[in-house]
Structure 1
Amino acid sequence: MSISTHILNTSTGRPAVHVPVELDFMLEGEWVTLNAAHTDDDGRVKHLLPQDEAMLPGIYCARFATGIYYERENVKGLYPYVEITFMVMPDQNHYHIPLLLTPNSYTTYRGS
């Protein structure tokens, strides 16, 4: 059971490297942070959900600190943070939550 992510800067065609990412879980109406990580040199976080953490059904949020990335790249970006809130259903083994990013837009989907 795992959650992973990948960020591709579609304006450059390159992965967004070293972007801070947090994973939160909604517990009794409050967000609880499960992990904080950075994308690797390929723009990935392979284990956004820590390997020793059970993936429970419920609502999760991946929070990407894109403003830090844009600043490092000397780019004016519209979105300093991107939050992707998603539902984990029972009996699912893996969720891959990609982020396609440009300075003025973003999109996401459920990957494989």
Structure 2
Amino acid sequence: MSGSNSTSAITTHVLDTALGRPAAGVAVRLTRIDPDHPLTVDAFTDDDGRVSELGPDQVPAGTYQLRFDTAAYFAATGQECFYPEVSVTFTVTDGRHHHVPLLLSPFAYSTYRGS
């Protein structure tokens, strides 16, 4: 799960805004929400808070979900946790790369379509 030369179609980056650093060791699950063509990939963020190798280099159009296990991360860093998990559901409509960052703190989070 490392390296910036990955060709995964979907990647993520988790930043702990409360501590002002990347969130290393966050368990992440990518799921394609399609019972006829399922996809599930599990990974952990690296020391830079990134998951660069998350699934294949191309994914078909459809609805996908990234689930972040924030409870375990907050417990490991000694922080309170209001959101024990964060799920981000998004739609892939083309063959472009999809980068989905997560900005995280014990009582708030935000996400956006990155580049």
What is the TM-score normalised by the length of structure 1? 0.89
Aligned position for 2:26: 19
What CA distance in whole angstroms lies between the structure 2 residues aligned with 1:85 and 1:48? 15
Q: 1:105 aligns with which of 92, 104, 108?
A: 108
What CA distance in whole angstroms lies between the structure 2 residues aligned with 1:31 and 1:79? 30
CA distance change for structure 1 residues 79 and 31 in 2, over 3 Å: closer, same or farther? farther
State the aligned residue count: 108
What CA distance in whole angstroms lies between the structure 2 residues aligned with 1:33 and 1:18? 22
Q: What secondary structure, in the 3-state scheme, does the structure 2 residue paired with 1:27 have?
A: coil
Q: Identify the structure with the greater strand proportion.
A: 1
Query: Which stretches of structure 1, 4 residues or more, deviate above 3 A after TM superposition?
Result: 30-33
**CA RMSD after TM alignment:** 1.7
User: Which AA in structure 2 matches 1:6?
Assistant: H
Q: Aligned pair 1:35/2:38, yes or no?
A: no
Alpha-carbon deviation of 1:50? Answer: 3.5
- Which consecutive residues of structure 1, in runs of 5 or more, have no partner in the other structure? none
Deviations 1:62-103 (A, max 9, x none): 00000000000111110110000000012x320000000000
Decide whether the 8 Å contact of 1:5 with 1:46 is kept in 2.
yes
What is the TM-score normalised by the length of structure 2? 0.87
Q: Aligned pair 1:87/2:100, yes or no?
A: no
